[in-house]
Amino acid sequence: MDEQLLAKLIKETIGEELKAIRQEMATKEDLKSFATKEDLEKLRAEMATKEDLKAFATKEDFLEFESRLSSTIEKIREGVRLYIFELEQEVRDIKSKLRFYDFDYIARQNDTMIKILKALYEEKTIISGRLKEHESRIEALEVMREGK
């Protein structure tokens, strides 16, 4: 398997995963059935204003939240980086293993096996025909013997 075919397979797999994710995501029509325009206006009216947020969260609270969020994002980023590294290693392993296979040799062996099987089938057909001829001769001789 060459690099282009491997790249094509990876692209197809990723494309299929993205299609599945898109199908799982909600569309505008789904959201319309979930919440009407009036519901959204009520929600906006009930939402907190800047002043409400200032009274609720201090600058220190916000900085702490930002720190935790940054830490979480960094952990996710590191996990993705490690996962990509593992995938890259697996692709390298696959490439190195594929170098040991001589696909032209395997194809030639398959062609040779097909020719041999075809010849054996033809020989079997000929022998089967001869066997039927011999059986008919034997039957004819038995009939002649019984007739004497």
- At position 92, the amino acid (one-letter code) is R
CA dihedral of 63, 67, 70, 72, whole degrees rounded to 10:
-130
CA distance 80 to 104: 38
Residue type, 65: F
- Whole-model pTM: value is 0.34
DSSP conformational letter for 47: S
So where are the chain's domains? 1-47, 48-101, 102-148
Percent of the chain with pLDDT over 90: 27
Residue 67 is encoded by which pair of tokens?
A: 């720190």
pLDDT at 58 > cutoff 90: no
Rg over CA atoms, the chain: 38
Distance of CA 100 to the CA centre of its chain: 24
